[in-house]
Amino acid sequence: MSTSFDKSDQPVLGLKANLAQFTLLIVVNAFVGAMVDMERSILPAIAEQEFMLAARTAILSFIAVFGVSKALTNYLAGRFSDVYGRKAILITGWIVAIPVPFLLMWAPTWGWIIAANLLLGISQGLTWSTTVIMKIDLAGPDNRGTAMGLNEFAGYFAVAGAALATGYVASNWGLRPQPFYLGVGFVAIGLGLSVFLVRETKQHAELEASLHPHIAEDDRPTPKEIFQKTSFTDRNLSSASQAGLVNNLNDGMAWHGDCSRSILHCPACH
């Protein structure tokens, strides 16, 4: 068996050199975004009509569970991707999402909905964060801003599209189970692309690290020090962290508006 090394397998930094994989990751992230908003326009209506819950109370419960689980998983995703590889964490995130649409379809109690959102938060923390990391790996130091911009555009465009699609299905064919068939498709396509077409990008990060002066093990910051720096002590990093928190808080609180009760209930949407 030949053991010759193909130079084409060597990592190269930059958007142009990695355009195919970068584009594929944008597509994967679009399905990640679609997963989270397949429920946005209809869960409040399900809470009221099927479980007799006050919409605002129900919204708060599943937003809180989703937000906490996603935040904690976000914190761990980067570390796990360094230890186990980016692709493994991305696939794991999709596997965690497999039960979500089925739980939402057939949930007999609101507790099942909460459990589905717990899994969805974990899945989002792993998949969204990992696709960000992989795009940054490929883009290199000169194109990180562009990589992040394209990532957020694809993800949130899909967020809006999925909310519109599930709301349309619900208004024409019912709240359950039909709208969540879309979620089954999102998981199947996202997982399939991640398993068969997405390639590991950790070697790109290692290549970029090799271009910088070596830092002794004792001089490297600990996870606790990194958390403190990005959250509090570094002005630029803490500002970015706070802006992200406010952005997601606004997004979550928008679910409490009159129209967030669902397109089925809001007169202004008809």
Task: Give the pLDDT of the chain (270 residues) as one tens digit per residue.
Answer: 333 334 456 889 999 999 999 999 999 999 999 998 888 778 878 888 888 876 566 667 777 888 889 888 988 898 899 999 999 999 999 999 999 999 999 999 989 999 999 999 999 999 999 999 999 999 988 888 899 899 889 988 998 899 899 999 999 999 999 999 999 999 999 999 999 999 999 999 999 888 877 766 667 788 788 888 888 898 988 888 888 777 766 666 655 543 444 434 443 334
Q: Is residue 225 part of a domain?
A: no
CATH code of the domain in which 82 resides: 1.20.1250.20
Number of folded domains in the chain? 1
Report the C-alpha gap between 37 and 65 in whole angstroms: 15
Q: Is residue 6 part of a domain?
A: no
Number of C-beta neighbours around residue 23 at 10 A: 13
User: Which ranges of the chain would DSSP assign to H, the alpha helix?
Assistant: 19-37, 43-49, 55-84, 86-97, 99-106, 110-139, 144-173, 181-196, 202-210, 223-228, 235-253
Q: Is residue 3 part of a domain?
A: no
Q: Is residue 243 part of a domain?
A: no
The total number of residues written for the chain in this structure: 270
Q: Is residue 5 part of a domain?
A: no
What is the pTM for the complete model shown? 0.85
Is residue 195 within 8 A of residue 129, CB to CB? The reply is no
Q: Is residue 251 part of a domain?
A: no
Domain residue limits at 85: 13-207
Q: Is residue 224 part of a domain?
A: no
Give, in order, the Cα–Cα distances in Å from 249 to each of 36, 64, 169, 202, 256.
15, 11, 28, 31, 11
Taking only Cα atoms into account, the Rg of the chain, rounded to an integer number of angstroms, comes to 20
Q: Is residue 240 part of a domain?
A: no
47-52 CB contacts, 8 Å cutoff, 24+ apart: 47/110, 47/113, 48/261, 48/265, 49/175, 50/175, 50/176, 51/109, 51/110, 51/113
Residue type, 232: F
